[in-house]
């Protein structure tokens, strides 16, 4: 999974034209921990066709506030810097794969 160092890196990734899936999570969150192997498997399936980012809401409260994150995990899918999909809670691998594949057209 990708690691962003700052807002410029994040902006660059979501503007890249590739689909970007962002997982807003917290280290203390049980459902967030359940998403980690799902996202790892998704990254293996998608390869370099999409970016998958994890943002710790406790370490990045301004990012969480910017996207109105009220609960974790919350996943957002971006294409050309626009939020194309958003969902809170655990999301199955097949659904995430379908969403990212749909954004590649």
pLDDT in tens, 22-60: 999 999 999 999 999 999 999 999 999 999 999 999 999
d(CA 66, CA 89): 19
Of 21, 22, 32, 75, the active-site residue reads 32
Whether 92 is in a domain gets the answer yes
Strand, helix or coil at 57?
A: coil
Whether 104 is in a domain gets the answer no
Please confirm, yes or no, whether 32 is among the known catalytic residues: yes
Of 13, 26, 29, 84, the active-site residue reads 29
Whether 18 is in a domain gets the answer yes
Whether 20 is in a domain gets the answer yes
DSSP classification of residue 48: G
User: Residue 41 belongs to what H/E stretch?
Assistant: helix 30-46
Confidence of residue 5 (pLDDT cuts 50, 70, 90): low
Whether 103 is in a domain gets the answer no
Q: Which domain holds residue 82?
A: 7-98
pTM value? Answer: 0.91
CATH code, domain carrying 94: 3.40.30.10
Alpha carbon distances (Å) from 32 to 20, 26, 60: 18, 7, 16
Please confirm, yes or no, whether 29 is among the known catalytic residues: yes
- pLDDT value for 2: 55
> What is the number of domains present in the chain?
1
């Amino acid at each position: 999974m990708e690691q962003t160092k700052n807002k410029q890196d994040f902006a660059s990734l979501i503007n890249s034209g590739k689909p970007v899936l962002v997982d807003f999570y917290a280290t203390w969150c049980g459902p967030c921990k359940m998403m980690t192997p799902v996202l790892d498997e998704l990254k293996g399936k998608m390869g370099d066709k999409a970016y998958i980012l994890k943002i710790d809401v406790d370490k990045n409260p301004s990012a969480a506030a910017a996207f109105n994150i009220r609960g974790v995990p919350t996943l957002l899918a971006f294409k050309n810097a626009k939020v194309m999909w958003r969902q809170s809670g655990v999301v199955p691998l097949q659904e995430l794969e379908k969403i990212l594949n749909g954004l590649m057209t």
